[in-house]
Chain A
Amino acid sequence: GAGVSQSPSNKVTEKGKDVELRCDPISGHTALYWYRQSLGQGLEFLIYFQGNSAPDKSGLPSDRFSAERTGGSVSTLTIQRTQQEDSAVYLCASSPRQGVSVKQYFGPGTRLTVT
Chain B
Amino acid sequence: AQSVTQLGSHVSVSEGALVLLRCNYSSSVPPYLFWYVQYPNQGLQLLLKYTTGATLVKGINGFEAEFKKSETSFHLTKPSAHMSDAAEYFCAVSDTGGFKTIFGAGTRLFVKA
What is the interface of chain A, defined by CB distance below 8 A to chain B? Answer: 33, 35, 37, 39-48, 50, 56, 59, 88-89, 91, 98-101, 103-104, 106, 109, 111
Contacts of B101 in A (CB 8 A): 37, 43, 91, 106
Contacts of A99 in B (CB 8 A): 40-41
Contacts of B43 in A (CB 8 A): 33, 35, 45-48, 56, 59
Sample (17) of A-B pairs whose CB atoms are under 8 Å apart: A33-B43, A35-B43, A39-B99, A40-B96, A42-B34, A43-B34, A43-B44, A43-B46, A48-B42, A50-B41, A89-B99, A91-B101, A98-B41, A100-B39, A100-B88, A100-B108, A104-B44
What is the interface of chain B, defined by CB distance below 8 A to chain A? Answer: 32, 34, 36, 38-46, 49, 51, 87-88, 92, 94, 96, 99-101, 103, 105-106, 108
Bound CA span A59–B46, Å: 12
Say yes or no: A100 contacts B32, CB within 8 Å.
no
Main secondary structure of the interface of A (DSSP, over half): strand
Bound CA span A100–B86, Å: 10
Bound CA span A10–B49, Å: 26
Say yes or no: A43 contacts B99, CB within 8 Å.
no
Contacts of B39 in A (CB 8 A): 100
Contacts of B40 in A (CB 8 A): 98-100
Say yes or no: A45 contacts B45, CB within 8 Å.
yes
Q: How far is the CB of B94 from chain A (nearest CB, A)?
A: 8
Contact of B105 (CB < 8 Å), options: A43, A98, A103: A103
Residue of A nearest to B100 (CB): A109
Q: Which of A56, A91, A100, A106 has the most CB of B within 10 A?
A: A100
